[in-house]
Chains A and B, each alone.
Chain A
Amino acid sequence: MSGPIERVAVYGGGIAAPMAALAVARAYGRLGTQVTWVDTGEAPPPYAALVALPDLAAFHRLLGIGDAALIEAASATLNMGQQFVGWSGGDAAFLHAYGDAGTPFASLPLVQHWTRARQAGLRVALEDFCLAAAAAKQGRIGELRDPATRQAVKHGWHLDATSYAALLRAACERAGVTIVQGNGAQPHAASGKLDRIVLADGAAVTADLFVDADGALTGLLDPGGAAEGDGFCDRIIRGSAAGLDPLPLYSRVTAHEAGWVTLIPLGDRLAVEIVYDSRRMPDDAARAVMEQVAGRRMEAGAAEALSATVRSRPWVANCIPIGRAAGDAPLLDGAELLLLQLAVAQLVLLWPIDRYTMPESDIYNEELSGSHARVRDFAAQHFRLNGRDGEPFWDAARAAPISAELASKIDLFAARGMFAHFNYEAHVEDGWALCMTGHGVLPRSFDPQALLVDDQALMAEFQRQLRAIAAEVRGMETHAEALTRIRSGAT
């Protein structure tokens, strides 16, 4: 027996379910595939905001989501990076900008020359050679033609989760997704695979393939498949304060004694969330820290539990988990949307040929487990490299075990400013360089080929790059101007 996938059921709510339903309907609806979204009614948590990396912009084109609509309907603002404050103790801050860590020079990444110059006493941070970082810190953004820095400036988005979910839902309706009310629905399995979802009114949704954005379907087929990982923090409170003016082009992650506070600037408010270890910080104290970091009055929701589950074999039989159902994402570096997007993209790419046998599951599971592991590594570097000595939470975070891959990355960067690349990398090496140097890692040595450049020529090149960055930033538009332009549909 063989035959194509004809009917798909997407189960869940939030962002993940409509995103998956939309992607599948747009890709395969043309071939007659029917998509039903069994909406469990789960809404994004109150006050929640999302950090979307630049890759989401390209994905949105596939989904048919326009930039103007994001600004109009999801309070979107532009996101050029994430700033880390206080992770080394004190007020020290660095920006993980989505751009180049300097312009390569004499056939080597700038970090090699920078390392050499730092050892000789240079005091300029690597971040200062990053056009995107300089622009973001000055509230400027814009793509230049033929920039002297030869650096790209990319941006992602900050999104209001509730209205982004509504936007995706509306797009699902336009794309022909059948949406059914799934409150109280019951999934049923037979002989190791999902069979149907019975709705509260008794109607049954049958499908060849089930996409699980909730976790209940996967849990039914593979009850022991989720392992609890190390999340450092077990609780989150989300809130909201009056919006910032001018609007920053980056979110800010400020460390506190037992976790961190993230500030995400939206068009109509400032989203605030505190992530903390409740064994070291009571909820009331967390609320106070939240308000103190935000520096303004705010309203906030209830404290919610956080989990950090890992699934090594997400796709089982005819059930494909995406988003949280495939494993929790770290709460830093835009990981949540990044992993969701990667899962949905793989789902579309690996769309099963045959509804009776789905060997695609092995490929999906390798890809997704690999991506999850590499994304977890990126988040874990912040904990491993933190410099808040003497604070129990941070001392424990620094000592926590890390993957062999992350250990190789940190060791090699610390030794030589280079990158150990593995499969399934989700972040570019310049992002790693900005973070690791931001956390205070200064490579102990550099590529011997850097010595082919003499000191004077190197200083001249540094000055040239810094001047070019300053000039290019001056020619950019402000965040508000950029939002107005995008909203008007101009490019």
Chain B
Amino acid sequence: MGRPFELVIVGGGTAGWMCAAACAAKLVPAGVRVRLVESEEIGTVGVGEATLPQMKDFNDFLGLDEVEFMKATQASFKLGIEFVNWGRDGQRYIHPFGTYGRPVGEADFFSYWIRARRAGVAARLDDYCFPIVTAWQNRFMLPNGDPNDVRNAFAYAYHLDAFLYARYLRGWSETRGIERVEGRIVEVERDGESGAIAAVKLASGERVAGDFFIDCSGFRSLLLGSMLGVELEDWSHWLPCDSAQAVPCARSQDFTPYTRSTRRKAGWQWRIPLQHRTGNGYVYSSAHVSDDEAAATLLANLDGEALAEPRVLRFKAGKRRLAWSHNCIGMGLAGGFLEPLESTSIYLVQMAIMHMLTLLPSGEGIDPALPAEFNRVMDVEYDRIRDFLILHYIANEADAPLWEHVTAVDLPDTLKGKIERFRHRGHVQAYRDGLFGPPSWQAVFVGQGIEPLAADRLADVLPGDLLAQRLEALAATITRGAGSAPSHADFVARYCPAPAL
């Protein structure tokens, strides 16, 4: 090979710097030149402050030190998401990062739970899940490493300040060979013949050319959307929320090891506890509530003093028809947007990065099988998350216009029939790839009031009194285990105390 392959990342938000960091770890040492163009004039969105457990894999993949990373990003731990008023007002459940129960007999645990529930001898599903019971007591511990212990049957994620995460990764990446180019992009140059992106030109007149471009420019989708004309596949008929207002408030005593999502009249409100403050936001449908009213609702529902004015964001649910077109991949908001109801934004960036690393072309010309595969797997990721989000919306009482609207829409084919199958026998299809696994579907179905009418008949083989005994013993073990964990606040204060900002 002659000159090195040149990769240019456009945009330096969370997506841009995550991508840069991965390149620093895996491509720069393999001889690829990587530059990141960003402008300090342009702000980043940075709402994705709650994450999924896969983020730990990403940090491990980079080789980040967990304690250092958590201190640098004011991070706290997350065992799941609490959904309040979903299904109907007054209800609450946690979608945990873990499974329910443990093996009871030859059928799966959930089938036994259904049977016991129908017989009136089961506690609520949450009581058989260690991370949920622990979370509700505001306690936290790391998995204890013993495969036979309920205190190992979970994973955890983080709440973090995405802006600080980007800044942390920037420092990390710049010492590992990523060249940062400061400047506002004023023009994108395309190759006349192939249509590929040739270079971006900055306000300073500087021209940054490359073989391959990663578009991390946010909602503007500067390269993929604006320049290459890849349209957004509009999903707003299923997910009509198109606005959000975000506001931080002072940290409260209630330092939860979980994100909270509270259903509201025209959307839902998030609450994300960080070490230095609590992040809040109201995601809503502008057709169903005014901005002013949304702001008032948000500010009236904080558990600490507001630290800023609410900031308004506009978006549309959907994904770019192609995540990779020509010599350009769109990541993060440049590639698509799904509301943060299940904290999937950073996960989607992470998946795009991991697939990009393995599918990146190596020289001149792009083998069409590479973008075909990238686009196929990203479509799977987006479609699966979309369906799971829609499930949250449709499994609800239609008690306000937005909720009437969403429960009346025609579902994607991939979601049709799933509710009936679950109700009939607790059936959930296990996917080969992508989010979310059966325990997640079980959590949302049951949590929002859709309970199976019958269980797998294999669960009938175990004598009823034995089943009741085993379930009771399991719940007791979990309660005991949860009680042995320190409080989340103490754990964080000892493990990864962040400096005051």
**Residues of chain A whose beta carbon lies under 8 Å from any beta carbon of chain B:** 4, 27-28, 30-31, 348-349, 351, 353-354, 359-360, 362-363, 408, 411-412, 414-416, 418, 420-423, 425, 444-452
Contacts and interface: CB of A to CB of B under 8 A. Distances in A.
A163 B360 CA distance: 53
A354 B424 CA distance: 9
A363 B357 contact: no
Given A445-B361, A446-B362, 12 more contacts: A4-B457, A349-B456, A351-B456, A351-B458, A353-B454, A353-B457, A359-B421, A362-B417, A416-B373, A418-B373, A448-B5, A452-B29
Contacts of B454: 353-354
A188 to B, nearest CB: 27
B58 to A, nearest CB: 14
B308 interface: no
Contacts of B432: 421-423, 425
B369 A414 contact: yes
Contact of B26 (A362, A363, A423, A449): A449
B372 interface: yes
Interface string B419-439: 011001101010111000000
Contacts of B417: 362
A408 B373 contact: yes
B409 interface: no
Contacts of A27: 458
A415 B30 contact: no
A9 B8 CA distance: 65
Contact of A448 (B360, B427, B457): B360
B373 A363 contact: no
B367 A444 contact: yes
18 contacts: A31-B457, A31-B461, A348-B458, A353-B425, A360-B425, A362-B417, A363-B421, A408-B373, A411-B368, A412-B372, A412-B373, A418-B359, A421-B433, A423-B432, A448-B5, A448-B357, A448-B362, A451-B30
B32 A448 contact: yes
Given A353-B425, A359-B424, A448-B32, A415 B367 contact: yes
B188 to A, nearest CB: 25
B27 interface: yes
Nearest 4 CB-CB pairings of A with B: A415-B369, A451-B30, A411-B369, A415-B367
Given A31-B461, A412-B373, A418-B373, A448 B367 contact: no
Nearest to A417: B358
A416 B457 contact: no
Interface string B458-491: 1011000000000000000000000000000000
Nearest to A445: B362
A450 to B, nearest CB: 8
Given A412-B369, A415-B369, A452-B30, A447 B358 contact: yes
Nearest to B453: A353
Interface string B364-381: 000111101100100000
Contacts of B360: 448
Given A415-B369, A420-B376, A421-B433, A451 B31 contact: yes
Nearest to A422: B432
Interface string B78-116: 000000000000000000000000000000000000000
A399 to B, nearest CB: 20
A353 B454 CA distance: 7
A237 B337 CA distance: 59
Contacts of A447: 357-358
A416 B369 contact: yes
B457 A351 contact: yes
Contacts of A425: 432
Interface of B: 5, 26-27, 29-32, 357-362, 367-370, 372-373, 376, 417, 420-421, 424-425, 427, 429, 431-433, 454, 456-458, 460-461
B248 to A, nearest CB: 38
Contacts of A412: 369-370, 372-373
For A362, A416, A420, A450, the residue with the greatest tally of chain B CB atoms inside 10 Å of its CB is A416
B372 A411 contact: yes
B373 A28 contact: no
A363 B417 CA distance: 10
Contacts of B29: 452
For B376, B420, B425, B461, the residue with the greatest tally of chain A CB atoms inside 10 Å of its CB is B425
Contacts of A363: 421, 427, 429
Contacts of A416: 358-359, 367, 369-370, 373
A449 B358 contact: yes
A255 B117 CA distance: 58
B249 to A, nearest CB: 42
Contacts of B427: 363
Nearest to B356: A448
B26 A420 contact: no
Nearest to A351: B457
Nearest to B460: A31
A442 to B, nearest CB: 14
Given A408-B372, A418-B373, A447-B357, A28 B31 contact: no
Given A412-B369, A418-B373, A452-B29, A423 B431 contact: yes
Nearest to A362: B417
A415 B370 contact: yes
A446 to B, nearest CB: 8
B367 A30 contact: no
Nearest to A449: B26
A4 B420 CA distance: 19
B26 A452 contact: yes
A353 B424 contact: yes
Nearest to A348: B458
A418 B457 contact: no
B27 A448 contact: yes
Nearest to A413: B369
A317 B429 CA distance: 22
Nearest to A360: B425
B333 to A, nearest CB: 26
Nearest to A107: B61
A449 B370 CA distance: 15
Contacts of A445: 361-362, 367
A443 to B, nearest CB: 10
Contacts of B376: 408, 420
For B368, B372, B457, B461, the residue with the greatest tally of chain A CB atoms inside 10 Å of its CB is B457
Contacts of A408: 369, 372-373, 376
B493 to A, nearest CB: 35
A360 B425 CA distance: 9
A398 B482 CA distance: 61
Contacts of B460: 31
B324 to A, nearest CB: 14
A163 to B, nearest CB: 30
A18 B186 CA distance: 73
A191 to B, nearest CB: 22
A237 to B, nearest CB: 39
A28 B461 CA distance: 9
Contacts of A30: 461
A454 to B, nearest CB: 10
A445 to B, nearest CB: 5
Contact of A28 (B372, B421, B425, B457): B457
Contacts of B373: 408, 412, 416, 418, 420
